[in-house]
Structure 1
Amino acid sequence: MSNSEDLKEESVWDYPRPPRLEKTKHRLRVIHRGKVIADTKDGYRILETSHPPTYYFPPESVDWSLLRESKRKTFCEFKGVASYYNVVVGDAFVENGAWCYPEATGLYKPIAGYLSFYGSKFDEAYVGNERIIPQEGDFYGGWITKNLKGPFKGAPGTGFW
C-alpha cells in the first residue's frame, strides 16, 4: 500500500509533543536532476505538533555516491546532534540538503543513521505516488501531502506558535 490515496486525513495539530516516531508503509522517494537520491519502502516518519511529517530513509536506500559530508551540525532536544550532507548531482550542488542523527537518542534510536531530506531543495519528493509540497521555512523539513490539515508552522511569523 503505497499510493497517496491510502493516506488518511490528519491534522498536524493532533500530533504530539514530544514528537512521535513511527514506521510508514508508504514508498518514499527523492529525485534531483532525474537522478534518484533515495528510494525506500522501509522508512520512518516523525510527527510533531503543528508540523508536517519529516521522513527518514534507511542508509541502504540512499545513493551515497551523491552525498558529501557538510561541516554543519545542529542539536535537537529529542534526537540529539544532527550531521548534514551536501548532495551533488552532475553540476547541481544542494547545500545541506540532507541530515541524519548518527547517534539518535531516546525514543528516536531506531532512526540512528537514517537520512532525511529537505523537500524544497530537490526537484521531486514523493510519499507513495503523491508529489509532496515542502514545509515553508525549512526549519523542520516537513513534507506536506494533500491529506494533511494545517495551518503549518514554519512560514514567517509562525516561530512562536
Structure 2
Amino acid sequence: MIKATWKGQVLAESDRTQVVEGNHYFPPDSVRLEYFKDSDTTTFCGWKGDCRYYHVVVDGNTNPDAAWYYPDPYPKAAQIKGHVAFWKGVQIQ
C-alpha cells in the first residue's frame, strides 16, 4: 500500500497508484479531501495537458500547491485522469 503523508496525516492511500515520470498518482477515491483546498494555480504539460493544484491543509498548516491533478488529460495520459500527485515535502512511502 502506497501512502502520501504530511504533518503526520495520511492524505491518500492506495495500492492502485499510477506512476508517471516518477510520481505516484493516487486514484480519486483514495484521496482524503478534507485535507485539500482548491488553488487558483494552473500549469500546462505538452503531453498531459492542463494541470490544476490543491493546497494541502493539516492542523492549520498550509502547504501551498503541494498536490496536483489533470482533470481532463490528453489521451496519452488518460490513466491519470483525476488522480492526485504530491510534492513539496509530502512523503510518499
The TM-score range, normalised by the shorter chain, is over 0.9
Larger radius of gyration: 1
Q: What's 2:35 paired with?
A: 66
Give the secondary-structure state (helix, strand or coil) at the position aligned to 1:121: coil
Letter in 2 for 1:78: W
Unaligned runs of 5+ in 1: 1-26, 48-52, 127-161
Give the length in aligned residue pairs: 93
Cα displacement string for residues 67-108 of structure 1 (whole angstroms, at most 9, x for unaligned residues)? 001000000000000000001001211000000000011211
Give the secondary-structure state (helix, strand or coil) at the position aligned to 1:93: strand
- How many Å separate the matches in 1 of 2:45 and 2:37? 22
Residue 28 of structure 1 and its aligned partner are, at CA, apart by 1.7
Runs of 4+ in 1 over 2 A off after TM superposition: none
Unaligned runs of 5+ in 2: none
Q: What's 1:85 paired with?
A: 54
TM score, norm. by length of structure 1: 0.56
Higher RCO (C-alpha under 8 Å, 6+ residues apart): 2
Q: What's 1:158 paired with?
A: none
Name the % identity: 29
Q: What's 2:23 paired with?
A: 54
- How many Å separate the matches in 2 of 1:38 and 1:108? 20
TM score, norm. by length of structure 2: 0.94
